[in-house]
Copies of this chain bind each other. A is one copy, B any other.
Amino acid sequence: MKKITVLGAGMVGSAMAIDLSKDYYVTLCDISENRLKQISAGTGIKPLVKDLSDKQQVREAAAEADIVVGAVPGFMGFETLKTVIESRRNVVDISFFNEDPFQLDELAKKNAVTAVVDCGVAPGLSNLILGYHNERMKIDSFECYVGGLPTEKKWPYEYKAPFSPVDVIEEYTRPARIKENGRVIIRPALSEPEMIDTEAGVLEAFNTDGLRSLLTTMKIPDMKEKTLRYPGHIELMRVLRETGFFNKEEIEIAGKMISPVDLTSKLLFPLWKPEEGEEEFTVLKLKIIGEEKKIEYSLFDKYDKSTRTSSMARTTGYTCTAVVNLVLNGDYTRKGISPPEFIGREGECYNKVLAYLAERKIKIIK
């Protein structure tokens, strides 16, 4: 039986380890022994305490694996991926780090490693679908709308984040790179709000910096990525941002130097923390236009009460584990860095990922 090492026992990492443990021998690594105990109990998953911010410990964790799954926090993602590639292990990653993954392309090719990055739902599944169609038609325009939201709207933010508010605020401040008429345009985050009809009612979409690898891998003249929230949320975020609550630069408060966003994040944390077992959903909508056709995809996934697995863990994690299977089974063998649009080019791989998700009741309506 093949061996998989999952790095990071967060919400998505844990869901992936459980999913993969049905068919493989899985080792789950994390710095928290408690978290590992809690997840691995009764699953056959081997818990392994490792500090993944330490290169040597990443190397040890990767050593025995046939393939590695990267699910560490974004700020650690690039270094962790590099270490895994240096260790000559194939890897599928969902840490969504900010660095350009193609910096590691040469290293991965030299080491004959298949390294898939950004392999979640969006980025991830969205790239895969676009990659599939881009190989088969001339695309003029691509739009991606994505959001994960709590089912219950609670005043005032009507939002929950299964991670630190700092990472969400980063989405709300980083300028968004979009493509218009073949050129990359920079728009402020939270800009160009529009209302979108979804399975969860009307949601509000705004520019975020989510195109990532597509900006360089695709020759499509018009592309944009927008994040979805309940209407009104982004107005509050714009108010907080314009007031300075998202500023990183330290200011003096009663003789002490403080970064406002640190305080803001601390205050928002309890308000944005999902309650135990809180229901949520994930919406993904894609519009692909070209050759006088308009192809639309729609995904709507809900919290799984029976397994207590969030839709965000399901849609992100199972896209990743689907690709882990492709690589392990030799269906996808390209060496070097692959964003998911590269995988989508190959029709058989594409169909297998969608079938894998369908087995797990993640329905993508075309």
Option from B236, B256, B271 in Cβ contact (under 8 Å) with A256:
B256
The reply on A346 being an interface residue by CB < 8 A is no
Say whether A156 contacts B238, CB under 8 Å. Answer: yes
Say whether A268 contacts B253, CB under 8 Å. Answer: no
The reply on A34 being an interface residue by CB < 8 A is no
**B residues in contact with A259, CB < 8 Å:** 253-254
Instruction: Report the separation of the CA atoms of residues A238 and B236 in the bound assembly, to the nearest whole angstrom.
Output: 11
CB distance from A264 to the nearest CB of B (A): 8
Q: A238-B156, A258-B258 are in contact. Are A266 and B251 (CB under 8 A)?
A: yes
Say whether A260 contacts B251, CB under 8 Å. Answer: no
Instruction: Report the separation of the CA atoms of residues A156 and B238 in the bound assembly, to the nearest whole angstrom.
Output: 9
**B residues in contact with A156, CB < 8 Å:** 238-239, 242-243
Given contacts A236-B239, A254-B258, 9 further A-B contacts (CB under 8 A): A156-B238, A239-B239, A243-B268, A244-B267, A251-B263, A251-B266, A254-B259, A258-B263, A263-B263
- 6 tightest Cβ-Cβ pairs between the two chains A and B: A244-B267, A156-B239, A256-B256, A253-B262, A253-B263, A243-B267
Chain A residues in the interface with B (C-beta under 8 A) = 155-156, 236, 238-239, 242-245, 251, 253-254, 256-260, 262-263, 266-268, 271
